[in-house]
Amino acid sequence: MHYRPLGRTGMQVSLLGLGTVKLGRDRDLRYPRAFRIPDEADAARLLDCAAELGINVLDTAPAYGRSEERLGHLLRGRRERWLICTKVGEHFDADGSRWDFTPGHVRESVHASLERLQTDRLDIVLIHSDGRDREILERYGTLDALQAMKREGLVRAVGISHKSVDGAEAAIAAGCDVIMATLNPAQPEEAEVIARAGAAGCGVLIKKALASGHSGPASLRFAAAHAGVSCIVVGTIDPAHLRENAAILARSAAAG
Ligand SMILES: NC(=O)c1ccc[n+]([C@@H]2O[C@H](COP(=O)([O-])OP(=O)(O)OC[C@H]3O[C@@H](n4cnc5c(N)ncnc54)[C@H](OP(=O)(O)O)[C@@H]3O)[C@@H](O)[C@H]2O)c1
């Protein structure tokens, strides 16, 4: 596995990360096919496979149903080898998604994530934007609340999973440590701002590199070739796909 610095955070992240939406939630998603949430044994095998491949980034969120709670259980006794990225601002339950970006809610959400993940520190916490990226960053105090929790030692790095080029620009200007950006051959719009983020010392996680499964694994080469990219977080519950993705990125990294 190839590793890259996550901006100025001091963390070294594997070029391939594991997205865990499908470990905890199976409705209101944009994947091309229905799927069954893996049982405990299959989920444990998936994490073993990720560890064996050298993956060290796990991406989760309160909005991913039971994902955090399941990771907390699955990582018991081996938490330290992973970098956990979770989010604040969106919650998902039987009634669907709800959003709250107020500082009070941020604090409650981080504490609830720490408890579900059975840990005393989160490596990365991102604002789970609903699309109003700049407004949230500039007016809600959400980022200030996360930065305060960073100073308290509960969180190591903070930022936003944004939805627009303008949002990424606002995040760089606001001094985010990390952004989570979309990049795939059908959605190349963020390529330039990703390079600017990297040059400014902001770590960049990529989401939807396979267009949520609507494009083939070769699309990973596209994301890996762009300047500024730290880690490509691919969502999968299939160890064979995980191995295939790791092999594609190993060849990309070797080719420079
Ligand atoms: N913060 C946000 O707003 C946000 C939004 C979206 C995503 N994310 C994060 O980013 C991660 C990635 O995004 P994503 O899951 O939407 O999209 P993605 O990684 O582009 O695609 C995931 C889909 O591709 C399939 N897949 C993976 N590897 C494959 C392979 N080698 N061959 C064929 N199919 C393959 C997976 O199915 P299988 O399970 O069958 O492999 C899954 O359905 C998420 O898991 C999540 O952690 C964050």
Q: Which residue from 150, 169, 149, 171 is spatially nearest to 160, judged by alpha carbons? A: 171
Q: Which residues line ligand 1 (CB under 6 A)?
A: 19, 21-22, 31, 59, 128, 161, 180, 207-213, 217, 233-238, 241, 244-245
Instruction: Please give the number of the atom of ligand 1 that sits closest to the Cα of 237.
Output: 39
Residues 107 and 220: their CA atoms lie apart, in Å, by 35
Separation of CA 153 and ligand 1 centre (Å) = 30
Residue to mutate (ligand 1; options 58, 71, 83, 208; most atoms within 8 A of CB): 208
Is there a catalytic annotation at residue 3? no
Q: Structure pTM?
A: 0.97
Where are the alpha helices (H) located in 35-98, listed in sequence order? 40-53, 67-74
Q: Which residue from 212, 194, 224, 232 is spatially nearest to 21, judged by alpha carbons? A: 212
- Digit-by-digit pLDDT tens for the chain (256 residues) are 999 999 999 999 999 999 999 999 898 888 898 899 999 999 999 999 999 999 999 999 999 999 999 999 999 999 999 999 999 999 998 888 999 999 999 999 999 999 999 999 999 999 999 999 999 999 999 999 999 999 999 999 999 999 999 999 999 999 999 999 999 999 999 999 999 999 999 999 999 999 999 999 989 999 999 999 999 999 999 999 999 999 999 998 888 7
Would you state the structure tokens that stand for residue 28, as one six-digit string?
């209101």
